[in-house]
Amino acid sequence: MDDARIVMTLDAGGTNFRFSALRAGAPVIETIARPAEAHDLDRCLAQIVAGFDDARRRCPEPPVAISFAFPGPADYGRGIIVEPPNMPAFRSAVALGAMLEDRFGVPVFINNDGHLFAYGEAIGGFLPYVNGLLERANHPKRFRSLLGVTIGTGFGGGFVCEGEIHVGDHGVAGEVWRLRNSRHPEMSAEEGASARAVRREYALEAGLRLEQSPDPAAVFEVAMGLREGDRAAALVSFRRLGEVVGDAVAQACALVDGLVVIGGGVSAAWPLFLPSLVAQMNGTTVGPGGDRFRRLAAVAFNLEDPEQVRAFVEDRSCEIDVPGSARRVIYEPFPRTGVGMSRLGTSEAIALGAYAFAIRRLRLNPEDSCGKERLR
């Protein structure tokens, strides 16, 4: 956050591209929006180049790198995009990173949007926000791990622990969209945790053809009584979204231990899906003898609910005896996790994550030039 160098960033969604440039973690230009042209490779690549050209012209000084989020699957280390489902223009492997390095003459870093979203929220968003709540309540606990998920055109994810993005051996960690759909196990979670899932469920419940179903923003307005439509169907569509997302997040949280932050274009409807999401995380499983077990070791709290925030920050630690000694030690018997919404905004979190990722790489490898260090 104290680095004076400028990095150009991009949040590449399936519908729109959002370009920015940051210095010391803060934007130095206004966001530039361009249509993704996701069905035509030449037009899509032209939009990416034009967007970065425009961003570079607006920068107060030359940027030292480009760092951005792009949908997977991809070989992110080499900057190669490999047929992302929501970007049909990329029908075969495309060396996007090398193309941009040739064009702009600076190192290019590409990462998964879920990874960079989680990274941004860990640096300057939800993670410090929650730790601030605990500090103000004089609770000794501080979180160091964060699972981020985005709900929009697709369903993305990323995990940050101790200030590091966990990308895995092939850069494909955090792909929550590949988890099974709890309502339709033959499908991926994304089919129940995306904008198209909301439209499809609304159409099903309202007795409409899919092409007649409005977008999630309109469905949300119907559910809130702000627009005419089938309110019961709208409420059901978001409740089911919460169930599928909650099941996927619970599966992820069984393997990683930390807070959960949610972003993406559909996340604005959180009042309608967050309660069912958290309920899934706090659900139970049944053993052969009928005994019930909590899905997660930690209790999940909805940190958008003031009552649950108060319970979350309550210090339940106590002292217990040390066997064979007069000593006593402090014991915290109540593992917990908090679930809440992006504190930065999805694109802003991705931009911050992309900036920090590039600056960190440049500091670790000062001689890195146009990806040569990555490709050894």
Q: Is it true that 6-112+346-375 and 126-341 share their CATH fold?
A: yes
**What's the confidence (pLDDT) of residue 74?**
86
Q: Which of 264, 256, 334, 338 is nearest to 301 (CA)?
A: 338
Q: Tens of pLDDT along 264-280?
A: 999 999 999 999 999 99
Beta strands in the chain (DSSP E): 6-12, 16-23, 26-27, 32-35, 65-69, 74-75, 80-81, 108-111, 145-151, 155-161, 164-165, 259-263, 284-286, 292-294, 299-302, 318-321, 328-331, 336-341
Q: How far apart are CA 149 and CA 156, in angstroms?
A: 5
| Residue 141: C-alpha distances to residues 120, 134, 325, 343 (Å) | 21, 7, 26, 20
Inform me whether the pLDDT recorded for 173 exceeds 90: no
Query: 168 near 151, Cβ under 8 Å?
Result: no
Distance, first Cα to last Cα, the chain: 29
Q: 309 is written with which tokens?
A: 């925030």
Enumerate the β-bridge partners of residue 68.
10, 110
**What's the confidence (pLDDT) of residue 374?**
46
Q: Which of 357, 366, 312, 342 is nearest to 137 (CA)?
A: 312
**What's the confidence (pLDDT) of residue 375?**
42
Question: Domain 6-112+346-375 carries which CATH code?
Answer: 3.30.420.40
pLDDT band at 149 (very low <50, low <70, confident <90, very high): very high
Containing H/E element for 269? none
Q: Which of 283, 207, 288 is nearest to 246 (CA)?
A: 283
Q: Tens of pLDDT along 13-59?
A: 778 899 999 999 999 999 999 999 989 999 999 999 999 999 999 99
Domain chopping of the chain, boundaries: 6-112+346-375, 126-341
Question: Domain 126-341 carries which CATH code?
Answer: 3.30.420.40
Q: How far apart are CA 359 and CA 149, in angstroms?
A: 23
**What's the confidence (pLDDT) of residue 16?**
87
Q: Which of 81-85, 316-320, 354-358 has the lowest mean pLDDT?
A: 81-85
Q: How far apart are CA 251 and CA 178, in angstroms?
A: 12
Average pLDDT over the chain reads 93
- For the segment 67-95, the average pLDDT, to the nearest whole number, is 87
Q: Which of 178, 170, 175 is nearest to 159 (CA)?
A: 175
Exposure b/e, 269-290, CB count within 10 A at least 16 = b: bbebbbbbbbebbbbeeeeeee
64: left (phi over 0), alpha (psi -120 to 50) or beta: alpha
**What's the confidence (pLDDT) of residue 376?**
37
**What's the confidence (pLDDT) of residue 362?**
93
Distance of CA 177 to the CA centre of its chain: 11
**What's the confidence (pLDDT) of residue 251?**
96
Amino acid at 2: D
Q: What does pTM read for this prediction?
A: 0.91
Query: How many CB atoms sit inside 10 A of residue 185's CB?
Result: 8
